Amino acid sequence: MELQLIKGDITQLHTDAIVNAANSGLMGGGGVDGAIHRAGGPEIMDECQLIREREGGCPTGEAVITTSGSLPAKKLIHTVGPVWKGGHSDEEAKLHACYINALKLAESNDLQSIAFPNISTGVYGYPKSDAARVAINAVKSFKSNVITKVVFVCFDDANHQIYQQLLSE
Ligand code: APR
């Protein structure tokens, strides 16, 4: 599995799947969630609403898949990162689960390349270096015969520098 690092806007990526850092109500929001819904159009929210009606949303650490609307990626995977509460509320296990469950969903949908944003490191306040370690460890631990490429997409300089350092170790 090839690991790539990119600095930029995840909505521009042509990977088979891109991942959204959503909330458990799948209600849309700011940050990367807002950017994805704006760029992908209303079809995405329509499917989120169906999932909400059927399953009540998406619990923290889990993942669901929808259309990518008008985004260049084939599919959109929504996962819900933990809100940082000081590190004593199982945040690490939940963040790890986000990456693993998104990868599992990509695999079961035969999606070979997937791009992740830095889940939980914006509004949800997860310390960036800690979150990057969790993300990289989770992806490296995932053995797959389907997924050939994982892209870490960093939007801000701080995350990009952290990932550059950790991926070169
Ligand atoms: N492409 C890639 N990454 C982006 C983009 C973008 N277009 N826009 C923002 N980011 C980055 C931020 O720099 C941050 O590092 O996404 C990371 C995650 O930040 P948030 O989007 O705030 O996500 P999170 O911390 O997981 O909080 C989720 O915010 O928008 C709401 O609905 C969302 O309630 C949920 C919460």
Q: Can you tell me whether residue 93 is helix, strand or coil?
A: helix
Residues 162, 126 contacting (CB under 8 angstroms): no
Q: How far is CA 137 from the centre of its chain?
A: 15
Pair type for strands 149-154 and 113-116: parallel
- CA of residue 106 relative to chain centroid, distance: 11
> What global pTM score does this model have?
0.98
Q: How far is the CA of 22 from the centre of ligand 1 (A)?
A: 8
Is 110 among the catalytic positions? no
pLDDT digits (tens, 9 = 90+) for 113-160: 999 999 999 999 999 999 999 999 999 999 999 999 999 999 999 999
Give the number of other Cβ atoms within 10 Å of residue 145's Cβ: 7
Tell me the percentage of the chain whose pLDDT exceeds 90.
99
CATH topology assigned to domain 2-168 = Leucine Aminopeptidase, subunit E; domain 1 (3.40.220)
pLDDT of residue 130: 98
Q: Where are any strands of DSSP class E within 27-168? A: 63-67, 75-80, 113-116, 149-154
Nearest CA, atom 7, ligand 1: 9
Please report, as a single letter, which amino acid is at residue 96. H
User: Average pLDDT, whole number, for the chain?
Assistant: 98
| Chain segment 85-102, per-residue pLDDT in tens | 999 999 999 999 999 999
State in Å: Cα 162 to ligand 1 middle: 17
